[in-house]
Chains A and B, each alone.
Chain A
Amino acid sequence: MLTEFGRVLIFFIIGAVFVAGGLVTAWLIRPNRPYPSKLTTYECGEVPIGDTRVRFNIRFYVIALIFLIFDVEVVFLFPWALVYSQLGWFAFVEMVIFIVILFVGYAYVWRKGDLDWDRPAPKIPTFEKGVGVREDHLLEEQVVGS
């Protein structure tokens, strides 16, 4: 068993050497001519406004929490699946109980809306009579003015 994991380690090391070789070669032959505006972050050509690290939607955290619980469940299921065909009905019933208990929790978070993703209500643009015409007119004026 150890020899096989040893091979994985060797694979990892050789792979890392390959990738590092590529990056180092590029580092040796590429030009390096930085100036301040080149080193700003990209924001569609504008000067970046405000702080990048803004607060995020708590949904991401909730999703990660729920994921963690189910991840543990998946890990429990693997040893069971491995011996399943030898143990027969007993293992089947045991696992159905296990899954059903967790399914209660799943149904709970679904029902309480923790799996729903926030989505702003769509704004359907409304038009009044004559508005479109007036805007066309403004547009023409702008083109002429510029």
Chain B
Amino acid sequence: MDLFDIVFYCFALIAVGSAVVVVFSRNIMYAAFALLFAFFGIAGLYVLLQADFLAVTQILIYIGGILVLMLFGVMLTNRVVDVDIKTGTLQIVPAAILAAVVGGSLSGVFYSTWSTVSGTPSDVATTTPAIGEMLMTSYILPFEIASIILLVALIGAAMIARRKT
């Protein structure tokens, strides 16, 4: 067990432990706060996988964007911070189905690609220029479609938010 493994298990522990807190916390603010550490742990795991761009994007988008949105949502909702939220067995059947589907597909991917992955990743310099080249050559269509999806999301979000006021 070398340093790499120790750091890996630390980040894994942070990610999984915080995720458990997110699910079982009675205080919605603590749940949101634990999510911060869960995202952070996952970003650490990405770094260990040599996916530097992905790690930074994880922090930038998930912690700096989505979680801020969630915090605003919590603060905007009247009195929700003080109310104990039920994290019991209210929706056990849909939850079990969803968990089975996600877990099943993940392990499917895991077992189908297991043989092609060899050991720890080699120490690559950086992944970002390669990503840029791929986006501009092989994946040009998904790239432009992404912008249309963002446009739709923007207009949709603005319309829904406006209706509430």
Contacts and interface: CB of A to CB of B under 8 A. Distances in A.
Interface of A: 1-2, 5-6, 9, 51, 53-56, 58, 60-62, 64-69, 71-73, 75-76, 78-83, 87, 90-91, 94, 97-98, 101-102, 104-106, 108-109, 112, 114
Given A67-B65, A72-B61, A105-B155, 9 more contacts: A2-B4, A2-B50, A54-B78, A55-B78, A61-B73, A64-B69, A72-B150, A82-B128, A112-B158
Interface stretch (B30-38, B98-106, B110-118, B119-127): B119-127
Given A80-B132, A83-B133, A114-B162, A105 B65 contact: no
B85 interface: no
Contacts, number: 138
Contacts of B52: 1, 5
B151 A104 contact: yes
Contacts of B75: 53, 56
Most buried by A among B61, B69, B124, B158: B158
A79 B140 CA distance: 13
B contacts with A: majority SS: helix
A139 to B, nearest CB: 42
A102 B82 contact: no
A43 to B, nearest CB: 19
A58 B165 contact: yes
B158 to A, nearest CB: 5
11 contacts: A1-B124, A1-B126, A55-B77, A62-B157, A66-B157, A67-B68, A75-B60, A80-B136, A83-B136, A106-B154, A108-B155
A81 to B, nearest CB: 8
B65 A90 contact: no
B70 to A, nearest CB: 9
Given A79-B129, A114-B158, A69 B153 contact: yes
A62 B161 contact: yes
A17 B161 CA distance: 43
Contact of B150 (A5, A69, A90, A114): A69
Nearest to A113: B162
